[in-house]
Amino acid sequence: MYECDTCTRCFVTEHQVDQHMDSKDHWAYDFKCETCDDQYRTRAAVDEHMAKNGHWKNYCSDCDRHFQSESNYRAVGIAFPSTNHSPLIPPTPGHHIT
């Protein structure tokens, strides 16, 4: 059995579930914007959205790192005062949250 990504319907074949998810737009959205409620199917799509709209959160361009929280982001600024945290500059693709 093949289950829809977003509802409880099940199908006998993968083709049937794919047709259902295409017609109902039931494909899973695995990537969420860091600052708004928008969701995307690919990392590239959400990265493009965040770069276009300045939605990067807790990112330091000097360190080239994401931080899980604003307090962690600020703690690095306190520990290393020479860093100039710039959270709206997008990271290099492929970098992950620290």
pLDDT tens for each residue of 73-88: 777 666 555 655 544 4
Judge whether 15 lies within some domain.
yes
**Percentage of the chain lying above the pLDDT 90 cut:** 31
Amino acid at 60: C
Domain that holds residue 24: 1-28
Alpha-carbon distances, residue 3 vs 6, 14, 19, 42 (angstroms): 9, 9, 12, 20
| Number of domains observed in the structure of the chain | 1
Residue 68 has pLDDT above 90, yes or no: no
Identify the DSSP state of 91.
P
Distance CA 5, CA 26 (A): 6
Is the torsion defined by CA of 76, 87, 30, 71 positive or negative?
positive
Higher pLDDT among residues 3 and 58, named by residue? 3
Judge whether 71 lies within some domain.
no
Q: Per the structure block, which two tokens stand in for 83?
A: 């860093």
Judge whether 7 lies within some domain.
yes
* Residue linked to tokens 């409880």: 8
